[in-house]
Structure 1
Amino acid sequence: MATLIEQRSIGAIPEAERHGKAWHLLPLWFSLNATVMAATTGAIGISIGAGLMPTLLAIVIGNLVGAVFMAYHSAQGPQLGLPQMIQSRAQFGFFGAALPNLLAIIMYIGYFAGAGVIGGQAIASITGIPTWAGIVICNALTWAIAFAGYRIIHLFDRAMAVVSVIVLVLLFIAAIAHYGSAPAAPAKPTFANFFLILSICASWQITFAPYVSDYSRYLPTAQGGAKTFWYTLIGTCAGAITFMALGAIVAVYALDSLNSDALVYLSKLAPFGAPVIAVVLVLGMIGANCDNLYGPYMAGLSTVTQAGGPPHVSRLVRACATGGFGLIGTAIGIFLSGDFLTNLSNLILFLLYMLVPWTAINLVDFYVIHRGHYDVASIVSMRGRYGLVNWKAIGTYAIAVIAEVPFMSCPLFVGPVATALGGVDIAWLVGLFVAGGLHYALNRHTTIDDAEYTITADSSVASGAVA
């Protein structure tokens, strides 16, 4: 059991400790997307009147577009052996990377709180206990997996992927059988509501970016970026598209039931095995939500450590860090109102606007400017060649966020350009192109000596040595 509990932190993983196969990422990312939250996201298109076929088309296109970005982040893992957010030091500097780290942590906690409420409500419905107790149980199980770390997360989600496929087939059969059993939700398809669903689905995938390489960094370098990219892309799209499509189909004739308690309704959709299906769906939520504790743990260490972090982290430190974030998210879920959770989802949408420019800067820097060649020892060192704060990157990031504002369209704010476009939100596209283009323009003349810098972690760096 000792070997199952992860001990390393944000330091680079030495080749001798690498393990696993790239295909392991397919069931992992399928499981992380095959959730009730994905189903309720798919129902949004029906709720705003987009109609079933346009919604399904937007779900497919949006997920494919967004997944390309997150899969490219995943491919960074076996090359550098580093967690996702610590890589930001190569673009933003040692202290400059704290900004995207903190934004990612807030997003993690928000998602953790929301998923904990859904899982807790389901546990309460199954067992008859109070909702707050269900949330505590759900989040405690989530914490146990997040505490164990990388290997257990992979094993749990791999097992859940198999079970989720079986449940998905049963639910699809039941959903199609029930189709037409009630009047269809009114539909008035427009380009605006079609593109809104497309953007939401793309955003669903892009929000994985801050932690996606956390789950590929232990892969041997020989597994390669290409295989890592494709297995991640296929897994994440398969899970999200199928469950979002399920939600859209069910919402056509049962929108109110899906909105009131999606997990309970879906578990009772099939003519048999409702308790078992409910348990599987709850476990799926737990498996996906453990990432929202593991993520802030990694990002938090990336923010507060002054070097690469110790080569090994004690179980006490790991328990306190993951437990602390878990307590915050649990308190949010229990003590704050449903109106707050609505506001929380709006906050997360704004955080997406904040994180999209980071994604563009990180990917352009990695694949176009540096071509994957970094001085890993400098990334994990305060005294490294990437400096304390890279003001060019900070400025690029700020300009991209400002450029997004006129194009934003959300419940809290609608920009003038979005209004002129009939409510179409293309802010995330603007953020991607402005941040990526400007970062390239300012750094395209950067010279890289491919022989000098390594794309993999050597043993001295991985052991916590500081340049």
Structure 2
Amino acid sequence: MSSPTLDDAKRRSTEKLDPERDVETLELAPASEYYVSHPFMRKLLSWGVEARGILPVPREERTDTQYNRIFFIWLSANFNILSFSAGSLGPAVFGLGLRDSCLVILFFNLLASLLPAYLTTWGPRLGLRQMCLSRYSFGFFGVIVPSIFNLASMCGFCILNAILGGQTLASVSGGNLSWSVGIVIVSVVSLFISFCGLKFLSWYERLAWLPVLLVYVVALGIGGKHLINPPPAEPADARTILTFASTIAGFVITYSPLASDFTTYFKPDVPAWKIFWYSYLGLNIPIISVQCLAAAVVVAVPTVPAWSDGYADGNVGGLIQAMLRPAGGFGQFLTVLMALSVTANVAPTLYSFCLSFQVCMPFLAPVPRYVFSVLATAIIVPLSIVGATRFYSTLTDFLGLIGYWASAYAAVVLMEHVIVRKGRFASYDLRYWDSPRKLPTGLAALGACALACALIVPSMDQVWFVGPIAQKTGDIGFELAFAATAVFYVPLRHLELRFRPMV
């Protein structure tokens, strides 16, 4: 007996109107019916492994009321050594003092996290994953472009995390464990967590931040005395401030393209403000606190010889290990916990990687989600091993670049919802979530992003290119990416609507 296909699901789907929210939803058969073509897959499903990919979550399956799960997902995903590394860039790469670094970290995180926090509120209302939801502005084929950028960004974050975890494990071993082996260990653990699906992932993220908090508390207890009187710093110029700000914004704004991936199982009638604040606080509490701590530690490194030795060549793992060394064997144990903290970021990233991959290649929608977790890990491990020797330059370039496209993407999706659809979720006809002829062409969205590049490129400040505007102002590319794309998109979208009605 052959298994049901995605087309079978469409034929059995019927239109249903939600009388309370006036939102059209689909009555789809449970996702488990579409992933039972092999006995092994049936066994995995019986164990609770989630197979659903980009298939919309029907209203009757959106029953989760533990809304604080999204808070812990963001908290654990960012309460790790990668956030520490990003915060260290202010003093280490841009030469900023502690006060300037912390002010940039505070205000630009509070600003940039507004977008992903808001987009998480859409998941319960529509039951659509973020990049699948983006088809209603970018179109069925047009969304492939931002999906490719999203895949590249997620791979980049996973690579950076794997490198950090591998470095830290190697520093604990005293040379008995190579960076490469550490990278493999971190990647395999993350694969297991992602493989199991959102329920297991949510359970893990609810607990993963606790040992990391212990690490930071012990590290502060041992080395806090070195952070009390930071050495004076040279006054910072506006260009340096804005370039570092662009890097910090790039760290958090790139959660926008995967924001609703983790909220599609929540009940549709959950108040939007509740999901927003859980997400906003879940992003900002760990990122701001850990990045500011990192800035303080790196400013103090030159005054502590043991820290300087551990931090040689920008080895963040070695710095953490040096801070915890006075605790002896317990410090070694805490360093291992810190190394494994990156799994709380890699695992949800691998989860979303699967979804974007299916949006890029829609014919793979019937393939179980967990297959792509394995594929992503196979890509990440060798690239992490190759890139491990250039961590700081890779981190700086990567965070600076990804903020541009993520800002443009968020502007399109936001303008579509707020201006074109006037904030009405009922205007998203979910019958056509995968109908190329019914969805927008995507020309307006891609055209707006392309036109915005005329302002983004001159405003970039990267090691390999500094635009004429950035030479005077610093990097303001992500700000102009959002503003210019928003301005261009609205008239282009209204023009597009003359030829293809809204769905």
Same fold flag (TM > 0.5) = yes
Closer, same or farther in 2 for the Cα pair 1:71/1:175, shift >3 Å? farther
CA contact (8 A) 1:75 1:213 kept: yes
The one-letter amino acid of 1:400's match is A
2:501 maps to 1:430 = no
Aligned to 1:352: 403
**18, 31, 37: which one pairs with 2:76?**
31
Shift, 1:31, TM fit: 1.0
Closer, same or farther in 2 for the Cα pair 1:135/1:101, shift >3 Å? same
The one-letter amino acid of 1:25's match is I
2:177 maps to 1:129 = yes
Hey, what's the Cα distance between the residues in 1 that align with 2:391 and 2:287? Answer: 26
Aligned to 2:428: 374
Hey, what's the Cα distance between the residues in 2 that align with 1:142 and 1:186? Answer: 39
The one-letter amino acid of 1:381's match is S
Hey, what's the Cα distance between the residues in 1 that align with 2:235 and 2:245? Answer: 16
> Which has the larger displacement, 21-30 or 166-175?
166-175
SS of structure 1 residue aligned to 2:220: helix
Aligned to 2:346: 289
What does the per-residue CA deviation read over 1:77-113, in whole Å, with 9 as the maximum and x for residues that have no partner?
1111111111121111111110000111111112211
> Which has the larger displacement, 48-57 or 239-248?
48-57
CA contact (8 A) 1:29 1:235 kept: yes
Shift, 1:395, TM fit: 0.8
2:256 maps to 1:209 = yes
**254, 269, 274: which one pairs with 2:323?**
269
Aligned to 2:90: 45
Task: Please provide the CA RMSD for this pair.
Answer: 2.5
Aligned to 2:102: 56
SS of structure 1 residue aligned to 2:113: helix
- Identical columns (%): 24
CA contact (8 A) 1:354 1:401 kept: no
Closer, same or farther in 2 for the Cα pair 1:102/1:27, shift >3 Å? same
Aligned to 1:457: none
Structure having the higher Rg: 2
Alignment of 1:204-243 (within 5 A): 204-243=251-290
CA contact (8 A) 1:22 1:228 kept: yes
Hey, what's the Cα distance between the residues in 1 that align with 2:468 and 2:125? Answer: 43
Hey, what's the Cα distance between the residues in 1 that align with 2:450 and 2:394? Answer: 24
Aligned to 2:56: 12
**196, 203, 206: which one pairs with 1:155?**
203
Aligned to 1:112: 158
CA contact (8 A) 1:74 1:213 kept: yes
* Unpaired stretches in structure 2, ≥5 consecutive residues: 1-43, 303-307
**133, 138, 141: which one pairs with 2:186?**
138
Closer, same or farther in 2 for the Cα pair 1:176/1:202, shift >3 Å? same
Shift, 1:328, TM fit: 1.2
Hey, what's the Cα distance between the residues in 2 that align with 1:49 and 1:351? Answer: 22
Shift, 1:343, TM fit: 4.8
Hey, what's the Cα distance between the residues in 2 that align with 1:174 and 1:90? Answer: 53
CA contact (8 A) 2:138 2:446 kept: yes
Task: Identify which of structures 1 and 2 has the higher relative contact order when contacts are C-alpha pairs closer than 8 Å and 6+ apart.
Answer: 1
Shift, 1:446, TM fit: 9.2
Aligned to 2:145: 99
Aligned to 2:126: 80
SS of structure 1 residue aligned to 2:133: helix
What does the per-residue CA deviation read over 1:107-126, in whole Å, with 9 as the maximum and x for residues that have no partner?
11122112111111222333
Q: TM-score when scaled to structure 1?
A: 0.87
Hey, what's the Cα distance between the residues in 1 that align with 2:144 and 2:443? Answer: 13
Alignment of 1:183-202 (within 5 A): 184=231, 186-202=233-249
> Which has the larger displacement, 131-140 or 433-442?
433-442
Hey, what's the Cα distance between the residues in 2 that align with 1:411 and 1:155? Answer: 41
Hey, what's the Cα distance between the residues in 1 that align with 2:453 and 2:264? Answer: 29
CA contact (8 A) 1:49 1:188 kept: no
Closer, same or farther in 2 for the Cα pair 1:337/1:261, shift >3 Å? closer
2:461 maps to 1:409 = yes
CA contact (8 A) 1:114 1:341 kept: no
Shift, 1:360, TM fit: 0.6
* Unpaired stretches in structure 1, ≥5 consecutive residues: 454-467
Hey, what's the Cα distance between the residues in 1 that align with 2:49 and 2:162? Answer: 23
Hey, what's the Cα distance between the residues in 1 that align with 2:453 and 2:338? Answer: 37
Shift, 1:428, TM fit: 0.6
CA contact (8 A) 1:46 1:185 kept: no
Q: How many residues align?
A: 438
Closer, same or farther in 2 for the Cα pair 1:3/1:189, shift >3 Å? same
What does the per-residue CA deviation read over 1:16-74, in whole Å, with 9 as the maximum and x for residues that have no partner?
22214222211211111111111121111112222111111111101000100111111
Aligned to 2:314: 260
Hey, what's the Cα distance between the residues in 2 that align with 1:27 and 1:344? Answer: 25
Q: TM-score when scaled to structure 2?
A: 0.81
What does the per-residue CA deviation read over 1:359-411, in whole Å, with 9 as the maximum and x for residues that have no partner?
1101121233221331122123334x214x32122111111122211111111
**427, 436, 439: which one pairs with 1:386?**
439
